Structure 1
């Protein structure tokens, strides 16, 4: 699944921005929040894909 690779990339990006935010960079906090929203949406896509495949197998 390419969505899993996207999740990994987003997590790596979130880690970088989280470190910057902890050092006082408020712009990194905004990027972190955006990345977390993208993570949520991508995770939902994975859930939907798994559900579709599971139901198609029945």
Structure 2
């Protein structure tokens, strides 16, 4: 399981009944608030192709 999958699964367990988009946005929001975050780390965690897809949908 990748880090991104683990983070999504955690949010799905904590906040049941939300849409898939909500879970992605929540994970992105939480990561963005992290003082250790930068784009390279974010892309490594989420995968560059996933980042591009998420940006297009949000």
Give the TM-score taking structure 1 as reference length.
0.38
Structure with greater helix share of residues: 1
Larger radius of gyration between Structure 1 and Structure 2: 1
